[in-house]
Amino acid sequence: MICGLDLGSRNVKIALMEGNELKGTYIYDTMQFYRAYARKQEGKLVVDFKRLGLPPAEKVVSTGYGRLTVEVAGAAVIPEIKAHVLGAVYQTGRKDFTLIDLGGQDSKVIQVKNGKVADFMTNDKCAASSGRYLENMAAVLGIDLEELSKHYERPVELNSTCAVFGETELIGKIVEGYSIPSLAAGVNYTIFKRILPMVKKMGNKVIVFTGGVAYNEALKNIMEKELNVEVLVPALPQFNGALGCCIYGGES
């Protein structure tokens, strides 16, 4: 059994694989995970797999934002980009595509050629194009993420580059009387416009869309419509990194 661990900024994702077969996926709130299931010992993070209710794994491979601040004891560590590419190749069976991974705080656009990373770009100083932004905006609109992700038609124009000021701008649009679908579509378009320069630089005819934000169907539709490309959302977009860790563990 191989355990893949993706330590994200909002969630910790775990995948278990036996050979090439997926045995289970688990997701935890990041803060809760660190508080309840892990403790720091001699500078390393010891994960209480028993308490998590997981069967013992022969090998643990980890990735994610947390890996530099918390090295998981007994785990091999791989860079996120690598984990995500391995996961996407495994999940889609494709070898040439542009991978767009939008997570809690990170946006990554990776050009994959023949199953390997050819180039990549990520957001750097600003997280306005991430899942956290969508959560905040949905809260302002008083709807959940599922409802937010339905709308992409007749979007309102939102201009703010700052996610916090974006909330104020959205409130202004609510006052002006725009409908919730239009406002939600505007929010989804904002994400698209934010990642567009990166996508254009990494251009490809096929996009594989992963990360928690990939559950947003409106964004998938917007990408297909605006870029005129095939957009594949694999079965487990949020577990893509954790699956990539398992694949790496199986190969190495």
Partner 1 sequence: MRKIGITTTVPVEVIYAAGCIPVDINNIFITGEHPQQKVEAAEIAGYPRNVCGWIKGLYTTILEEKDIREVIAVTQGDCTNTHALMETLELQGVKTIPFAFPFDRDKDLLRLQIEKLMAYFEVDWEQVLIVKKRLDAIRKKVWEIDRLTWEENRVSGFDNHLFQVNCSDFKGEPESFDREISQFLERACHAPELKQDVRLGFIGVPPIISGLYHYLESIGARVVFNEIQRQFTMPFETDDLVEQYRLYTYPYHVLNRIEDIKREIKRRNLDGLIHYTQSFCFRQIEDLIFRQELDVPILTLEGDKPAQLDARSKMRIDAFVEMLRWNK
Q: Which residues bind partner 1 (CB under 8 A)?
A: 65, 68-69, 78-82, 116-122, 124-125, 201
Indicate the residue among 172 and 203 with the shorter CB distance to partner 1. 203
Indicate the residue among 162 and 235 with the shorter CB distance to partner 1. 162
What are the structure tokens assigned to 69, written together?
């601040």
Indicate the residue among 70 and 218 with the shorter CB distance to partner 1. 70
Name the 3-class secondary structure at 64.
strand
What are the structure tokens assigned to 215, written together?
């559950």
Indicate the residue among 39 and 201 with the shorter CB distance to partner 1. 201
Nearest approach, Cβ of 79 to partner 1 (angstroms)?
Answer: 4
Nearest approach, Cβ of 122 to partner 1 (angstroms)?
Answer: 6
What are the structure tokens assigned to 15, written together?
């995948």
What are the structure tokens assigned to 251, written together?
């190969």
114: left (phi over 0), alpha (psi -120 to 50) or beta: left
Nearest approach, Cβ of 124 to partner 1 (angstroms)?
Answer: 5
At 90, which helix (H) or strand (E)?
Answer: helix 80-92
Indicate the residue among 121 and 229 with the shorter CB distance to partner 1. 121
Distance of CA 159 to the CA centre of its chain: 24
CA distance 240 to 103: 11
Indicate the residue among 76 and 180 with the shorter CB distance to partner 1. 76
Nearest approach, Cβ of 78 to partner 1 (angstroms)?
Answer: 8
Sheet order of strands, 59-64 included: 21-29, 11-18, 2-7, 59-64, 75-77
Nearest approach, Cβ of 217 to partner 1 (angstroms)?
Answer: 28
CA distance 15 to 157: 39
Nearest approach, Cβ of 51 to partner 1 (angstroms)?
Answer: 27
> b or e along 180-203 (b: 16 or more beta carbons within 10 Å of the residue's beta carbon)?
ebbbbbbbbbbbbebbeebbeebe
